[in-house]
Amino acid sequence: MNASLKPRIEEYFNIQGRLSSHQREYETDLSMLEQQEKNQVVWRNQIFEQTRDIPRIINEVTLPVLQAKETSRLLQEQVHQLEDLNKSNLQQLSESAALVREICKEWGVKLPAE
């Protein structure tokens, strides 16, 4: 009976050894998966931290650009108004000069050559 049990006992220990080896592989794989899951959480949080500031950064960049565009538009308006005022002043000056020449001519005042 002892002889018939020996192969079965050896088979049991072989199976036990393989099970232990598989158990260690399983535990290693499980540990790696848990670490990967932790890494994914860390990466997800890092990505969230980095991307959550994007709208604020866009606002910080675009707001001055929009303000500069508005300032430029207002300045262009003022330039046009000044150009119109300058044309009006030149026209009035030209009319005043013509009037002065006419008055000087009526009164006999000789003007210097233009």
Q: H or E stretch including 33?
A: helix 2-52
Q: pLDDT for 71-91, tens place per residue?
A: 999 999 999 999 999 999 999
Q: Taking all residues of the chain, what is their mean pLDDT, rounded to a whole number?
A: 91
Helices H, strands E: what count in the chain? Answer: 2, 0
Given a contact cutoff of 8 angstroms between Cβ atoms, the answer to whether 111 and 104 are in contact is yes
**75: which 2 tokens?**
């300045």
Q: pLDDT for 7-60, tens place per residue?
A: 888 888 888 989 999 999 999 999 999 999 999 999 999 998 888 888 888 889
CB contact set of 110 (below 8 Å; sequence gap of 6+): 104
Higher-confidence position of 2 and 104:
104
Q: Is the dihedral of CA 58, 61, 65, 68 positive or negative?
A: positive
Q: What is the dihedral of CA 103, 109, 111, 112, to 10 degrees?
A: -170
Is residue 3 scored above 80 in pLDDT?
no
